[in-house]
Amino acid sequence: MTTIKDVAEFAGVSVATVSRTLNNSGYVGEESRKKVERAIKTLEYYPNEVARSLFQKTSKMIGLLLPDISNPYFPLLAKGVEDCAQEKGYMVILGNVEDNLEKESTYVKFFSQYNVSGVLSASAIQKDAKSSIPFVLLDRAMEKEDYSISTDDLLGGKLAARAIEETKAENVIVMAGPKKVPGANDRLTGNLQVLNHSNINYKIFETNTYQVDKAEKIARNLFETFENFDSVIASNDVFALAVMKEAMRRKYRIPEDLQIIGYDDMPFSRYMFPGLTTIAQPAYEVGYRGAKMLFNLIEKKSITQKKVILKPEFVQRETLR
């Protein structure tokens, strides 16, 4: 493996000159800089980023915390983050915390130890877990002082309930997401504001999770808990599809006997039959714009808007009457 000393010998300069060239710090003559750059290219030298980060107390890496990488919403969000990071010449370190506070704390400490330049989190991170490095929350804004990019989930909840209202639904099951996730509470509030105003009969089914591996069990529990309902407002697309599967297993016709609306608009939702009617969240844009905000913090640029809220959209397909 080529070392910085090899580069210095090949270029006929000192190790210090190579170091200043690599770090763009201190004076390096134009001729010496060209020699170093030529040596780096010829020898295919790649700097040791770990050693550099320890010396400079920073790095070309950012951290990304996700609550459940198996949920199809989050890979789209992560793609937005990575695309923005690549444009800036940064790499992304992924932490899948799975709603585990201990894992979350371990990742935050790891990021700090390896001098990541900033952290993005789509996890409902604890206030005391936030480190002193730049931090941006994705769909999880908790405190007034947080920098965040999120979706208007209150509006999203209203859009879902209005779509159900327009179908003359009579008995609705509202699936409520985890109470510790602000967006889930906002969706539920939006649902209920519309349903209460419309005098539609509804019951709330507490799921308290978005974990993909629990979706089928939760769908079975829904049918075992309630009777005589004709509509379901699901907490996300994964749970909506689990309800569809269980309904079909029980010989329900969709949407004639049971209509369902999801939330997220994951790519596979349009390929199902019948296609899932849902509320679209701009997952990629949340990730990309969140990363862009983080790099502005890292570069100490002025940020005029600490909290950015993006609009969801209603997507009509075939699971509503």
Contact 262, 277 (CB under 8 A): yes
> What's the confidence (pLDDT) of residue 173?
97
Same domain, 178 and 87: no
The domain containing residue 21 runs over which residues?
Answer: 4-47
- Angle at alpha carbon of residue 279, lines to 275 and 281, rounded to 5°: 115
Residue 142: the pLDDT is 64
Query: What's the pLDDT score for residue 105?
Result: 83
127 and 218: one domain? no
Between CA 111 and CA 116 the distance in angstroms is 5
Tell me the three state secondary structure of residue 194: helix
167 and 223 housed in the same domain: yes
Same domain for 187 and 214, yes or no, is: yes
| 146 and 291 assigned to the same domain | yes
Residues 119 and 91 placed together within one structural domain of the fold: yes
Domain annotation covers residue 182? yes
Residue 125 pLDDT: 63
Helix, strand or coil for residue 293? helix
Q: What integer pLDDT is reported at residue 51 of this predicted model? A: 54
User: Could you give phi then psi for residue 290, rounded to 5 degrees?
Assistant: -65, -45
pTM: 0.79
- Could you tell me which residues come within 8 angstroms of residue 265 by beta carbon, excluding any fewer than 6 positions away? 237, 278, 279, 280, 281, 313, 315
| The pairing of beta strand 171-176 with beta strand 147-151 | unpaired
CA distances from 273 to 82, 215, 250, 260, 277 (A): 32, 19, 17, 13, 11
Same domain? For 162 and 242 the reply is yes
Neighbour count for residue 265 (Cβ, 10 Å): 23
* Whole-angstrom distance, CA of residue 298 vs CA of residue 309: 21
Q: Say if 125 falls within a structural domain.
A: yes
Looking at residue 263, its pLDDT comes to 95
In sequence order, the β-bridge partners of residue 131 are none
pLDDT of residue 101: 81
Mark whether 265 and 186 lie in a shared domain.
yes
- The answer to whether residues 168 and 119 belong to one domain is no
Mean pLDDT by 10 residues, the chain (321 residues): 83 86 79 88 73 58 90 92 94 87 85 85 65 82 76 96 93 92 91 93 91 92 94 95 95 95 91 93 96 94 90 96 91
Tell whether 253 is covered by a domain. yes
The count of domains in the chain is: 3
- Which pLDDT value is given to residue 52? 55
CB atoms under 10 Å from CB of 68, counted, come to 20
Same domain, 260 and 291: no
| CATH code for the domain of 253 | 3.40.50.2300
Residues 142, 187, single domain; the answer is: no
